[in-house]
Amino acid sequence: MMEAPLALRLPLEGVLLIEASAGTGKTHTIADLVVRLLIEGGRDIGEILVVTFTRAATEELRDRIRTRIGEAKAAFATGDGGDNETVRGLLERCDDHARIAGELANALTRMDEASVCTIHSFCQQMLQEYAFESGEAFEASFEFDQQQMLETIVEDFWRRRFYRESPAFVEVVNALWTTPRGLLDQVRACVSVPNSEIRPSLDPQGLARARDRFLGALRQLPRRWAEQRAEVCEILRTHKGLRRTREKYKLERVEELIGRMDELAPQDLQEFLLPDAFVFFTRAEIMQAPLKKHAPPEHPFFDYCQELAERSQALCRDIRILVLREAVDYLQAELQRRKRDLNALSYDDLLTRLHNALSEDRTGALKAAIRRRFPVALIDEFQDTDPLQYEIFRGLYTGCKGLGLFMIGDPKQAIYSFRGADVFTYIGARRATPDRFTLSRNWRSAEGLVRGINAVFEGSRGRAFVFDEDIPFIGAVAAGKADAAPLMIDGRQPAPLQVWCLEKGGARFLHRKTAVASLLPACAAEISRLIALGSAARARIGAAPLKAEDIAVLVRSRYEAEEVRSELRRLRIASVFISQESVYATEEALELIQVLRAVAEPGGEARLRGALCTRMLGLNAEDLFRMQHDEGEWEQCLQRFQGYRDIWLKRGFMAMFQHLLVEAGVIERVLGVSDGERRMTNLRHLGELLQAASQI
């Protein structure tokens, strides 16, 4: 006998963790739980809080919940539970069907009162609804995008901190980050977390001591080189333990290195970064170039250079730690000051202010108000929760009778820090939650594929996800739904999970370029074979012939995607590129920046030349040379860009943008290249984003 669905077996109070892999019906379970809370839990639709992490996910969840309530209402009105196991189970164990159908109809008409929202929206709502209890201002404006403010602040820090520093210090900073934006990218996550620290900590006195130790050792270079030059040169020129076939220790290269050290040694060096040539005299580098059957050469000068290199690396590491810590402190303090002056809140502030308000809620009035408002909360995608978010919900719902907190997530995805997940937050929550349940039926994949995936991970001997005690691998069970229309080739079902191995041909390892040169044609050829079989009705998915749109290729980056697309184009196979990458990271965004800079300053001829040579505007070097030497044509170009600027100032950004696209022939030019539709879509999307930003 098949076990009842999890949504029917869960307790409706307490703190529960529901672990769900992809395809196991997580969203269905959430919708079923809401229905059960309405029917058996006696909850009102407005008392149930459903939290997820993106706006798109909130709309999907809201639609799914509305649909499920509608199905349950129809089931209780007619006595027919349909295909939904949870609804059928509720129908069997509940009496007074007519009353329940009426209550569900009421909930359906009041779906606009249902709180299905992101965690930031929830925090904003609580701060506004309970302004007295939280101590927040009523009229705070919500400046959700604080990126521009952060960029301004980090530029201020860059000027204040580095403009008066020594050239040696600034050289290290430029090598580490190049620009203020590079520094901001490294500290952004810490700026958003209150009381965050850069570890290990370092004080300026410790940095000064490290600097003095390094410079003291560096000052010995002239004496050591003068005393040991002859011996070192003899080793580098004649020692049989150096592999001469390697570029760096070929005889002509050795003479260059000796000459470079001759130039360096007499100088009063003050740099913290050693010159590039210096590394070839270090013991570690010498050890990497030995010939077989010969010991690598040894000499005190190589040991001295090794010590200098290590002290240089340690000093640069200390500078990095110190600057990161100072940058975080400055950005946190300055960001709060500026937002306080503007009476503005960001997304991150919504979290920190609600967390602080709950922490300082000595009378318990704020917690009591939120608990009355939402006695039950369901947290979707819980694996993406950070420590602050978890603390908010743990503080609200732990240890309180009559309340329910359902945390639903995939523990295997808790490792994705790039999405904001924190694996240790998940592990801590799991350890603190004894009531744990698992959704194990996979509704999305065929049985053979599920068994194959299980076999791969079970072969890891219990170490599939490193944290084997806290994130164990639990094999899924195929629900059988996907087997209704299997892939069949010539009447036979191929193995659902196949692994292709690339022969190394005796090499110890394969360079990426070598591997790609074999893998890309093989991948494209297999896709071509499958499409051809589908066209001949020899490959089918269920009753339908296999088509190109049934095939997907998963890659790690847009660059790999472009490599696959190029290979498919060679075989005349059309493809589309689907990515979650930001449109700001595309080539079109970089080109549009160049064009807009030229529009903003039409008299700046260098910027104008750069804009004209973009794919958008289409000039090549020959065209540009000819235009610049035709005074009349160049003047017309300058006037055209001045006209774009005038339209921008008088009629707004979008009017200028549309005019530029048409007059400069951008649309025809972009659509004329490969994947032109995607490029044009990116440009239009960027135009809409810039138009929205121009109206703030």
Report residue 138's pLDDT band, with 50, 70 and 90 as the boundaries: very low
Nearest Cα residue to 444 out of 479, 419, 475: 479
- What is the pLDDT, as a whole number, of residue 392? 93
- What is the pLDDT, as a whole number, of residue 247? 59
Is 259's pLDDT higher than 60?
yes
Distance, CA of 386 to CA of 429 (rounded, Å): 11
Report residue 1's pLDDT band, with 50, 70 and 90 as the boundaries: very low
Nearest Cα residue to 281 out of 297, 295, 268: 297
Distance, CA of 185 to CA of 353 (rounded, Å): 24
Which tokens belong to 437? 């349940």
Q: pLDDT (tens digit, 9 = 90+) per residue, 445-485?
A: 888 899 998 888 887 766 777 777 788 888 888 888 888 88
Q: Give the SS3 label for residue 53.
A: coil
- What is the pLDDT, as a whole number, of residue 200? 60
pTM: 0.68
Q: pLDDT (tens digit, 9 = 90+) per residue, 350-390?
A: 888 889 889 888 888 999 999 999 999 999 988 888 888 89
Rg (CA), the chain: 32
Q: Give the SS3 label for residue 478.
A: strand
Cβ 367 vs Cβ 358: under 8 Å: yes
Distance, CA of 101 to CA of 89 (rounded, Å): 15
Give the position of tokens 């040539």: 277
Which residues are paired to 17 by β-bridges?
407, 436
- 160 class by beta-carbon count within 10 Å (0-12 exposed, 13-18 middle, 19+ buried): exposed
Q: Which residues contact 464 (CB under 8 A, 6 or more apart)?
A: 457, 458, 472, 473
Distance, CA of 101 to CA of 77 (rounded, Å): 6
Cβ 31 vs Cβ 20: under 8 Å: no
Distance, CA of 688 to CA of 657 (rounded, Å): 10
Q: pLDDT (tens digit, 9 = 90+) per residue, 142-172?
A: 555 677 788 899 999 999 988 888 888 888 8
Per the omega criterion (within 30 degrees of 0), is the bond before 200 cis?
A: yes
- What is the pLDDT, as a whole number, of residue 611? 87
Cβ 154 vs Cβ 180: under 8 Å: yes
Look up residue 518 and give its amino acid: S
Percentage above 90 pLDDT, the chain: 23
Q: Residue 221: phi, psi to the nearest 5? A: -60, -50
Strand 477-478 versus strand 487-489 pairing type: unpaired
Cα–Cα distances (Å) from 531 to 230, 257, 449, 658, in that order, read 69, 57, 21, 40
